[in-house]
Amino acid sequence: MAKKTSKIGRYRIVDELGRGAMGIVYKAEDPNLDRLVALKTIILPEDAEEHGEYRKRFFLEAKAAGKLNHPHIVTTFDCGELDGMAYLAMELLEGIDLRTRMTKQGVTALEAVEIARQVADGLGYAHERGVVHRDVKPGNIMLNGGGKAKIMDFGLARMRMADHKTSTGMVLGTPRYMSPEQISGQPVDQRSDIFSLGIVLYEMLTGTRLYSGENIEQVQHSITQTEHVPPTRVVPGLPAMIDFVVARALKKDPAVRYQDAYELAADLETCLAELRGQGAATEPSGDKSRTVKMEAGKAIDAPPARAIAIDTRLPVSRLIDSTTAVKRIKNASSDELTRLPRRVGLLRRVVRDAAVRRFFVVACFAGFAGFYIALV
């Protein structure tokens, strides 16, 4: 790939758009239709057996993706193979990907929900046709100038089997955006994409990384074991319904997650209406739709995530005031509020338990009477 390519198949290379682990993305011209396309090249493995398998899967996925024609999915026009390299000709979009947008400019809450709604809509369409993305992440969502979001690289995660292998099975996708079932190597379906979109939505809304760690294992542990902090806790002012939508999309158990991306899109539509209402009510300050931006090159961790079970940290309610009790707990001496229940002894029971006390008095009188009868 060192020498400059001028033509791939019938496509004439105009410019290089980017490079990735799988290959290079070019801006190319299709002379037959006289239109510009994005040409994604994928280097096929050299090993003959692997090559055959890879090639077969590539064309299968490309065919499936080629059938998707939706305003929120990047259209695949063509695919082919040339000199050990597979390529995909796709719709060329003017704009930036969501990852770049989040780090450079930030996303307002309104935009975040709108983008997620559009992506959910696109995913719903693909899922209906049996196509699962498997790698929904900000880098795979393109935004054009008009605020339209488009999902890229449908099915390409399958092509990257070598990227993340585990001893238990094949793991496909980008670790930070994987679903728990993807991590454990179980078969994935549309609900896995919903989980990944939930992470993207969370990160857009809060400007923090939801699942992070120093290595893949830490990230995976975090995805499978920890609960997120509700977005309204990180960014006060977001509508409460956002919490429910995000929580449902991020359920660890796919059975209780959104079962359908359209369902998620419908709930996001309701959130949008609420956000627009808030925006209209607070037009001058514009507080409710503040832009959150991820710092470029630096991972901002989400607030400490809550572990399930015994480490579960429940936040003090914002709606019912508990400040008096909090103050009391903070000011209490070390043993004032930490007394454990004692076993109730006989004496305490006689003194404080009415039924036992009555029995005790009766027993005393009866004993005295018996004694009197016997001895007097």
Compare residues 82 and 256 and give the one whose CB is closer to other proteins.
256
- List C-alpha distances in Å: 202 to 107, 116, 156, 163, 222: 11, 10, 24, 25, 15
DSSP 97-120: EHHHHHHHT-EEHHHHHHHHHHHH
Q: How far is the CB of 49 from other proteins (least distance, A)?
A: 43
8 A C-beta contact, residue 37 and residue 11: yes
Compare residues 16 and 287 and give the one whose CB is closer to other proteins.
287
Q: How far is the CB of 199 from other proteins (least distance, A)?
A: 17
Compare residues 60 and 273 and give the one whose CB is closer to other proteins.
273
Residues forming contacts to other proteins in the complex (CB under 8 A) are 227, 230, 233, 240-241, 244-245, 247-248, 251, 256, 263, 267, 270-271, 309-322, 324-326, 328-330, 332, 334, 337-344, 348-349, 352-356, 358-359, 362-363, 365-367, 369-376
Tokens representing 323 are 């400040």
Q: How far is the CB of 208 from other proteins (least distance, A)?
A: 15
Q: How far is the CB of 299 from other proteins (least distance, A)?
A: 21
Compare residues 21 and 355 and give the one whose CB is closer to other proteins.
355
Compare residues 60 and 351 and give the one whose CB is closer to other proteins.
351
> Could you tell me how far CA 85 lies from the centroid of its own chain?
33
Tokens representing 216 are 């893949």
In three-state secondary structure terms, 319 is: coil
Tell me which residue of 210, 275, 211, 209 sits closest to 242, measured CA to CA: 275
Compare residues 31 and 236 and give the one whose CB is closer to other proteins.
236
Whole-angstrom distance, CA of residue 368 vs CA of residue 355: 20
Q: How far is the CB of 6 from other proteins (least distance, A)?
A: 52
Tell me which residue of 223, 231, 226, 182 sits closest to 206, measured CA to CA: 231
- Dihedral (CA of 256, 262, 264, 266) sign: negative
H/E stretch holding 26: strand 24-30
Tell me which residue of 151, 183, 153, 154 sits closest to 170, measured CA to CA: 183
Of these residues, 30, 97, 135, 153, which one is catalytic? 135
- Catalytic annotation present for 135: yes
Q: How far is the CB of 202 from other proteins (least distance, A)?
A: 14
Compare residues 32 and 331 and give the one whose CB is closer to other proteins.
331
Beta bridge partners of 19: 24
Q: What are phi and psi of 372, to 5 degrees?
A: -65, -45
Torsion on CA atoms 191, 139, 106, 266, rounded to nearest 10: -30
8 A C-beta contact, residue 159 and residue 87: no
Q: How far is the CB of 73 from other proteins (least distance, A)?
A: 24
Helices 261-281, 190-206: inter-axial angle, 10-degree rounding: 20
Q: Which residues are catalytic?
A: 135
